[in-house]
Chain A
Amino acid sequence: MSATAAPAPRGRFSKRMRLRYYSAQNVPLLLSLGLLAALLILYYFLFIAREGRAPGNFELTTTVNNTLTTGLAAMGQAMVVLTGGIDLSVGGIIDMTNAFAAVHMGTSTGSMIGVSLLVLLLGTGAGLINGLLVAYGRLQPIVVTIATLTIYQGVAIEIMNTPGGQIPQAMTDMFSGTIPRLGYLPNSLVLLALLIVFWQILRRTPFVATLYAIGNDARAARANGAAVVRTRLAAFGLSGFFSGFAGLYFATVNTSGDPTSGDTFTLTSIAAVVLGGISLFGGRGSALGALVGAFILNLILIVLFFTAIDQEYTDLFQGLFLILAVVASVLVGRLLQRGR
């Protein structure tokens, strides 16, 4: 039930009161932050036990670099999941876009900027195709994107049939290097901060307000006069944009392309969204949770690596950990619910 039903003081809502309501209404997001914190502590001590020193800037840089592709894909996935849909084509778009970038990008500044923009456009276009089929064709997102996933995978093979290509070093430095003058601040961390700022702006747009409304109840949203069809289309377009960005980032971090290695991001993006406390039924959660979820997923991998579990079994343990994490968050959520 409600956190409280005490009548509000007229016209004034204190910071504390707002915070109390916000946290009571966003338990899953807070839980995922808690899980992330717990993993970070675990990682910290395992690292010291193994390396005899505390993790430093190098570890920070590689961790954020390795996470950001999943993070971007998960941000895109979140846009669609918040409307109550799902986007299975995320992996296909990453296949396609990272291959495109590796094949076409030259070393000139013009080429780097131009091809980067084309890659983002390609991703957005692919997302819009999904959106057109879902919003105007009134097809189910899962059906549409399972089909376009294979199509985009096919296009990726057309673009580049074996791993290869080249991303200019300057590009790689920009996305995954550090800024020496700012104490070797990782560029990817700056990018992460920009993503957070971007979402803070985005969630104040009428578009995202409608996105949540659709996820809550599409019929009610329509009766309220919300532009349901257009918003659905835009959600998929945005998902494609983020997937394209993820593809670009993936290529630059690897300094080359691979037309099939993007596939895994379909499932990891969904896992990140779930771990980040976004409801698969739509309408509840924050896209920031998707970023948190991406970090949780990656930290799980690193922690498993440190525990020296046989490489063959990491997938198995990652899966087990996922289940444990989800079960734990559900249990804690129920306990909190009962406590009130």
Chain B
Amino acid sequence: MPSIEGLSISKSFGGVRALREASFSAEQGEVHALVGENGAGKSTMIKILSGLYPPDSGQIRVHNQPVSLGSPQAALQLGMATIFQELTLLPYMTVAENLLLDREPRFGGLIRRGAMPDAAQTLLDQYAVQGLNPLELVANLTLGRRQVVEIVKTVSRQPRILFLDEPTSALAEEEVKWLFGLIADLRRRGVCMVFTSHRWNEIKGLADRITVFRNGASVGVFAGIDLSEEGAVELMTGRKLDMQYPEPPPLAKRTPVFAAHDLAGRGLRGATFTSYEGEILGVGGLAGQGQRDLFLALFGAGRFKSGFIDVRGARVRLRSPRAAIRAGIALVPEDRKTEGLLLPLSIRANLSLPILGRLSRAGIIHRRAEEILNRSIIEQLAVRTPSQEQPVGMLSGGNQQKVLLGRWLLSGARILLLYDITRGVDVATKHDIYELILRLAAEGHTLLFYSTDTEELAHICHRVIIMREGRFVAELEGQAITPEAIVAAAIRVPGSDRPLSARQAAGAPA
């Protein structure tokens, strides 16, 4: 008997059809994967089934009963809960307040604030979560730790039907293991789980059944063992895809372009590197070892107390992102929503923003020139969009990344800092992005590429340097770059064979 069903569900957002009479069903005690490209409608389906959005048409059935879910509250009452991709944590409230929201320990109707940390700790212990302090503000946690809080919060409501929308995208390896254990446990207890992921080994390892979505509708339901990655990708994209990673061409000569000497400050303890023209320099290591601080410092958005940055042999002072942009440096961050793009504005407006001066004559924007320039970059980067006027917020994650990259290329950036830009991006778009990175390198750009995905680091970089505790501890080049070597270098402590503790490996803030 199906636990949850969505029948012929349609949903549009401002003219864009996210779901076209899509159907989906999942059973009690099964783990059901929902796969598809970004924008295929997986997340929309989950949001409709969990009551966050009302469907335009179609029926939702829970345990064979038609229901109308007016709100997440109504869904909760039916025993349904969701772990959302955009977390639903409240940043300036503590871990305890977040975990216990709406079911705080009470006395005569009043919340016993003093009892909350202990109650939260009991929950955390119950789910074997370590190194999380209930008194800490959520805003002070790393993304991975926040995801753990979100998972515990949701699962501890003991739902009968649980939706997980890309639950692993922010998790470190240890945390992923923890989550898998949790999911196995819930399956034993008969909970129906529906999850989305872009990581095939997770889908393969977890899913009893897989439903593939393309263009807002289901294109097939398979038993987990029957579907191969190639088969799934073909169904998702509707075309055969070369699953090989593209390889970068060897560097002809080494012209130093971008170098840092002994950068120290917040999160950084003497980071030194030199990168060359046309080089893709990978930055690896466990999450939270100072990579973020390094990228922010190189973009003038973070402060460092000592050290120097050189661009083409000349010392530069990067006191603001504006100064960095003038020096030809650009940053594409992981979190597009808060760092870089103006979501409600059109692609055109976003692309033109840093070059308005160049596009204007006597203070008036030259529309024609703007359009031609933008069209060329949209084609060059293969941004999938109906028009330049499409609001950026309506694009899928991968395409948003392309727009941001395009903006920097238009503004003449020669040094590109790419910070985990493929996170949460589907296979096909990832592929586009790899191709793009290689082409940019071939055109003589210098790229710094941080990624939590060791596979892709190993394949598309000329060199990979491994960061730990704010400095570089290893450098891999050519044949020596393998995923195993990257992981080994990330975990090994120099001078001893002692690996990092589980807590550090899980990316807890130091």
Contact = CB atoms under 8 A, between A and B. Distances in A.
A217 B90 contact: yes
A63 to B, nearest CB: 32
Given A2-B136, A7-B503, A217-B91, A12 B118 contact: yes
B107 to A, nearest CB: 9
B227 interface: no
Interface in B114-138: 117-118, 121-122, 125, 130-131, 133-137
Contact of A8 (B104, B110, B135): B135
B272 to A, nearest CB: 24
Interface string A217-239: 10111111111000000000000
Given A205-B109, A220-B88, A213 B133 contact: no
A283 B90 CA distance: 9
Contacts of A216: 90-93
Given A216-B92, A222-B71, A224-B101, A5 B508 contact: yes
B105 to A, nearest CB: 11
Interface string A1-26: 11111111011110001100100010
Contacts of B131: 5, 7
Contacts of A4: 133
A221 B121 CA distance: 22
Given A7-B130, A205-B109, A283 B136 contact: no
Contacts, number: 108
A56 interface: no
A218 B226 CA distance: 42
B135 A21 contact: yes
Contacts of A6: 133
A1 B509 contact: yes
A209 B111 contact: yes
B306 interface: no
A224 B102 contact: yes
Interface in A172-226: 201, 203-206, 209, 212-213, 216-217, 219-226
B90 A213 contact: yes
A206 B135 contact: no
A47 to B, nearest CB: 39
Max chain A Cβ within 10 angstroms of own Cβ: one of B71, B101, B122, B137? B101
A223 B111 contact: no
Nearest to A227: B73
B334 interface: no
B102 A225 contact: yes
Contacts of A8: 117, 121, 133-135
A221 B510 CA distance: 30
B72 A224 contact: yes
A223 B110 contact: no
B101 A226 contact: yes
Nearest to B122: A11
Given A7-B131, A213-B101, A1 B140 contact: yes
A219 B90 CA distance: 10
A288 to B, nearest CB: 14
B410 interface: no
B117 A18 contact: yes
Contacts of A25: 92, 94, 137
Given A11-B118, A204-B110, A220-B87, A5 B93 contact: no
Contacts of A225: 71-73, 76, 102
B378 interface: no
Contact of B135 (A18, A221, A224, A227): A18
A219 B85 CA distance: 13
Interface in B213-248: none
A201 B122 CA distance: 26
Given A7-B130, A220-B87, A283-B92, A17 B125 contact: no
A223 B125 contact: no
A8 to B, nearest CB: 5
A98 B117 CA distance: 44
A92 B447 CA distance: 59
A118 to B, nearest CB: 28
Nearest to A285: B92
A219 B86 CA distance: 10
Contacts of A221: 90
Contacts of B509: 1-2, 5
A338 to B, nearest CB: 9
A257 B383 CA distance: 66
B102 to A, nearest CB: 6
A4 B133 CA distance: 9
B97 interface: yes
B88 A204 contact: no
Contacts of A209: 97, 101-102, 104, 111
Interface of B: 52, 71-73, 76, 82, 84, 87-94, 97, 101-102, 104, 109-113, 117-118, 121-122, 125, 130-131, 133-137, 140-141, 503, 508-510
Interface of A: 1-8, 10-13, 17-18, 21, 25, 201, 203-206, 209, 212-213, 216-217, 219-227, 283-284
Closest 5 CB pairs of A and B: A216-B90, A2-B140, A220-B88, A21-B135, A223-B88
28 contacts: A1-B140, A2-B140, A2-B509, A3-B136, A7-B133, A8-B133, A8-B135, A11-B122, A11-B125, A25-B94, A25-B137, A204-B111, A204-B112, A205-B110, A209-B97, A209-B111, A212-B97, A213-B93, A217-B90, A220-B87, A220-B89, A220-B90, A222-B52, A222-B72, A225-B73, A226-B101, A283-B93, A284-B92
